[in-house]
Amino acid sequence: MREALAWRNGVVHELFVTATAADRNPELLQTAAQAGVRISDVTDKAAESLSETVTPQGLIAVVDAVPQPLDQALRGSPRLVAVLYGVSDPGNAGTVTRVADAAGADAVIFAGDTVDPHNGKCVRASTGSLFHLPIARSRDAAEVFAACRRAGLRLVAADGYAQEDLVEASVKGDLKQPTAWVFGSEAHGLPDDVVASLDTSLKVPLYGAAESLNLATAAAVCLYASASAHRTA
């Protein structure tokens, strides 16, 4: 909730609060009141009906839509962007958004048939990161890739079947380039035609017996590899 109130790209319009939550969060309510947010008292039962969680915290906010237009989210000279393509699991999408935020990414883009960033589980999994960096959403994946290229980003597919891995790319200095990492669904990865349409593909090297990494872990490795390369460029 604090992240929403501090959000620079949108506004909190109304805050519904239970008596218990009000007693626990006086400073937050004061901040909301000072920001001109309308505060409405609700019962515990009403809070349960408004929230998607089994045990709601008693604070429900009505805020502006999160996504921005593509060109706005990619304005300036972005160095690191995460693109989620066809990611249907909201927990994965929210977690990757959190990882991108932690790695210092400039934006996260939901492309194609990826889950809605407003999905309750996605919002919770992001732990506030949806409000920390620009978020864009477009069903037209081709336009997403074109917008990334217009912004000067190299499109890199995270693909477990790629010929080259992160270590090799790092040695060659390729990770120093402004990069948009494209991540596919955990179940199916990226379609072959999407991988072929991007600038290159890289895999995370697996040194042990594990067959693969889950989406969020692979995204963390890839994004931090680029972030580290950018900071030593």
Shared domain for 170 and 118, answered yes or no, is yes
119-165 residue pLDDT tens:
889 988 998 898 899 999 999 999 999 999 999 999 999 998 899 99
For 54, the domain range is 2-63
Q: Is residue 99's pLDDT more than 60?
A: yes
Higher pLDDT, 83 or 132: 83
Contact partners, residue 44, CB within 8 Å, separation at least 6: 18, 20, 58
Instruction: Give the domain-ending residue among 45, 63, 81.
Output: 63
Same domain, 168 and 110: yes
DSSP 8-state code for residue 103: T
Report the pLDDT value the prediction gives residue 36, as an integer from 0 to 100: 81
Total domains present in the chain: 2
Q: Which amino acid is at 222?
A: C
Task: Identify whether residues 75 and 163 lie together within a single domain.
Answer: yes
Query: Both 95 and 189 in a single domain?
Result: yes
The mean of the pLDDT values for the chain is: 90
Query: pTM of the full predicted structure?
Result: 0.87
Pair 142, 167 in one domain: yes
Tell me the pLDDT band of 26, cut-offs 50, 70 and 90.
confident
CA distance 40 to 30: 13
Query: What CA–CA distance (Å, rounded) separates 223 from 121?
Result: 22
Same domain, 56 and 159: no
Looking at residue 47, what is its pLDDT? 78
Q: Which of 63, 90, 107 is the last residue of a domain?
A: 63
The distance in angstroms from the start CA to the end CA of the chain is: 36
φ/ψ (deg, to 5) at 190: -95, 140
Domain with residue 102: its CATH number is: 3.40.1280.10
Q: What is the mean pLDDT of residues 30-36?
A: 82
Contact (Cβ atoms closer than 8 angstroms) between residue 148 and residue 81: yes
Same domain (yes/no): 121, 214: yes
Q: Is the pLDDT of residue 222 over 60?
A: yes
Write out 111-125 in H/E/C secondary structure.
ECCCCCCCCHHHHHH
Give the pLDDT confidence of 158-202 residue by residue, as tens digits: 998 899 999 999 999 999 999 999 999 988 889 999 999 999 999
* 10 and 120 fall within a common domain: no
pLDDT value, residue 221: 96
Instruction: Check pLDDT > 90 for residue 114.
Output: yes
CA distances from 100 to 28, 133, 146, 226 (A): 26, 9, 21, 11
Q: Are 54 and 77 contained in the same domain?
A: no
* Residue 96 scores a pLDDT above 90: yes
Query: 179 with 226: CB under 8 angstroms?
Result: yes
SS3 72: helix
Give the domain-ending residue among 22, 39, 63: 63
* Same-domain check for residues 20 and 110: no
Confidence of residue 55 (pLDDT cuts 50, 70, 90): low
Cα 97 to Cα 216: distance, rounded to the nearest angstrom: 9
**Are both 225 and 125 inside the same structural domain?**
yes
On the 0-12 / 13-18 / 19+ scale of CB atoms within 10 A, 129 is buried
Residue 103 and residue 25 share a domain: no
